[in-house]
Chains A and B, each alone.
Chain A
Amino acid sequence: AQSVTQLDSHVSVSEGTPVLLRCNYSSSYSPSLFWYVQHPNKGLQLLLKYTSAATLVKGINGFEAEFKKSETSFHLTKPSAHMSDAAEYFCVVSDPGGSGTYKYIFGTGTRLKVLA
């Protein structure tokens, strides 16, 4: 069965420094992978998705993620954090699992705090 693990429940960075949010997945098939962001009292917004066309995926607001099959990882990065990046980030895996249906499996989330 597919699963996703977000290794850090909380991450704090200073404004202007790099961001790294870690995600490892488990899947029996070639997975689809996504990162979603949830700002306080807001809905979930797609940041980026892995489409198998390129292992380095660029998303909105300067975020990127790299798919590494050998490490079963899909870590989210950003070169320079901005105060507005403070939010909850969810890594998501989706694949058919052989049952003909598929669902999005969410990680438990990483809360990013950006310090002035």
Chain B
Amino acid sequence: GAGVSQSPSNKVTEKGKDVELRCDPISGHTALYWYRQSLGQGLEFLIYFQGNSAPDKSGLPSDRFSAERTGGSVSTLTIQRTQQEDSAVYLCASSLGVYLQLNTEAFFGQGTRLTVV
């Protein structure tokens, strides 16, 4: 597609349930990022994938959070046993991500608004 696509756009789940959020990056982009934006807050880095390298998971807030990227394209962010504090907008971004090209901009999806009730 022309841009980064995220699904679903909105998700309401009950506390304790697992959720999966999907991100389709721009074709050809090797770098993929997940961020979380809580109400009125800035963007919190969660995880970064670059090609076949081991992902940078340093931003994941707990072991209930995990992410995969299959075939170097689509990514799924999974939150297990959701808590109310997980409610936020989850943003995915992709970029060309070529190591030597440090100035490649990131293109963002519209986000998934997660509400845990």
> Which residue on A lies nearest to B95, using beta carbons?
A104
> A107 near B103 (CB under 8 angstroms)?
no
Given A43-B108, A43-B109, A90-B42, are A104 and B93 also a contact pair (CB < 8 Å)?
A: yes
Whether A87 is near chain B, meaning CB under 8 Å from some CB there, is no
Residues of the A chain whose Cβ atoms lie less than 8 Å from the Cβ of B91: 43-44
> B41 near A108 (CB under 8 angstroms)?
yes
Interface residues on B, range: 20 to 34
Residues of the A chain whose Cβ atoms lie less than 8 Å from the Cβ of B93: 44, 104
**Complex alpha-carbon distance, A96 and B102, angstroms:** 8
Given A43-B109, A100-B53, are A90 and B43 also a contact pair (CB < 8 Å)?
A: yes
Whether A52 is near chain B, meaning CB under 8 Å from some CB there, is yes
> A108 near B45 (CB under 8 angstroms)?
no
> B48 near A101 (CB under 8 angstroms)?
yes
> A49 near B105 (CB under 8 angstroms)?
yes
Residues of the B chain whose Cβ atoms lie less than 8 Å from the Cβ of A11: none
**Complex alpha-carbon distance, A44 and B106, angstroms:** 10
Taking CB atoms and an 8 Å cut-off, the chain B residues in 46-86 that contact chain A are 48, 50, 53, 56, 59
**Complex alpha-carbon distance, A44 and B93, angstroms:** 10
Whether B90 is near chain A, meaning CB under 8 Å from some CB there, is no
> B102 near A43 (CB under 8 angstroms)?
no
Whether A95 is near chain B, meaning CB under 8 Å from some CB there, is yes
> B102 near A101 (CB under 8 angstroms)?
no
Given A94-B102, A95-B102, A106-B42, are A101 and B108 also a contact pair (CB < 8 Å)?
A: no
> B106 near A104 (CB under 8 angstroms)?
yes
Taking CB atoms and an 8 Å cut-off, the chain B residues in 20-44 that contact chain A are 33, 35, 41-43
Beyond contacts A52-B103, A105-B45: 4 other A-B pairs, Cβ-Cβ < 8 A, are: A36-B108, A46-B106, A49-B105, A107-B42
Rank and list the top 3 A-B pairs by shortest CB-CB distance, nearest first: A108-B42, A106-B43, A44-B108
